């Protein structure tokens, strides 16, 4: 899962995500309604976490103005079916590039440009489960949010390490 480059064909990202979502919903017998699809599309407008109220405004700009519960319900649906991840440290949401494929949320966040990417390292999951087990704790769900500098921003800052 590479970090998104500053410039890339982002419409491809959106299309891929929407297609994957359709497929996943079909597979699960879940209904990807208009509102849900639109919200997912809006979440995918960038690779940065988006807040619920920003989505609300975007909806308004599309002539689909709504109240908070509408957005939160759509987000809940998308979360429940693994189509987006919640970014707790930012009160925001990002699209998941590979729904269906089981994985906990391991998210990299660039402090400079705000871009997010998934780490998705199974060794990490294992290490956490193992480490927790040593304390007698059994893991059901984990949130990993890592802040730092993305490759692009490091290069800009002259970080050659």
Partner DNA sequence: TCTGTTTTGTTATGTTATAACATACCTTCC
Partner DNA sequence: GGAAGGTATGTTATAACATAACAAAACAGA
Instruction: Extract the annotated binding site for Zn(2+).
Output: 110, 113, 150, 153
Q: 143 Cβ partners below 8 Å, 6+ apart?
A: 88, 104, 105
The residue from 10, 28, 48, 73 that contacts DNA (CB under 7 A) is 73
Q: 62 Cβ partners below 8 Å, 6+ apart?
A: 38
Separation of alpha carbons 32 and 34, rounded Å? 7
Interface of this chain with DNA, residues 97 to 136, rule: CB under 7 A: none
Residue 13 interacts, among its own copies, Zn ion, DNA, none and using kind-specific CB cut-offs from 5 to 8 Å, with Zn ion
Cβ 114 to DNA, closest distance in Å? Answer: 13
The residue from 74, 84, 115, 117 that contacts DNA (CB under 7 A) is 74
The residue among 74, 8, 29, 53 whose CA lies nearest residue 84 is: 74
Separation of alpha carbons 113 and 56, rounded Å? 23
What 3-state DSSP class applies to 155? helix
The residue from 13, 16, 30, 149 that contacts DNA (CB under 7 A) is 30
Does 65 sit near Zn ion (CB under 5 A)? no
Q: Which is nearer to its own copies, 99 or 105 (CB)?
A: 105
Residue 112 interacts, among Zn ion, its own copies, DNA, none and using kind-specific CB cut-offs from 5 to 8 Å, with Zn ion
Main-chain dihedrals φ then ψ at residue 3, nearest 5 degrees: -70, 135
Interface of this chain with Zn ion, residues 83 to 112, rule: CB under 5 A: 110, 112
Cβ 7 to its own copies, closest distance in Å? Answer: 16
């Amino acid at each position: 899962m590479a970090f998104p480059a500053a410039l890339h064909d982002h419409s491809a990202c959106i299309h891929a995500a929407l297609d994957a979502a359709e497929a996943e919903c079909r597979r699960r017998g879940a209904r990807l309604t208009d509102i849900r699809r639109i919200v997912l599309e809006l979440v995918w407008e960038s690779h940065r976490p988006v807040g619920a109220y920003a989505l609300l405004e975007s909806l308004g700009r599309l002539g689909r103005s709504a109240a908070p519960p509408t957005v939160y319900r759509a987000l809940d649906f998308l979360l429940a079916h693994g189509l987006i991840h919640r970014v707790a440290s930012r009160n925001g949401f990002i699209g998941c590039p590979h729904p269906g494929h089981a994985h906990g949320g391991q998210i990299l966040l660039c402090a400079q440009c705000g871009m997010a990417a998934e780490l998705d390292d199974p060794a990490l999951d294992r290490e956490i489960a193992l480490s927790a087990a040593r304390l007698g704790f059994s893991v059901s769900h984990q949130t990993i949010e890592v802040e730092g500098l993305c490759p692009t921003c490091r290069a800009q800052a002259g970080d050659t390490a």
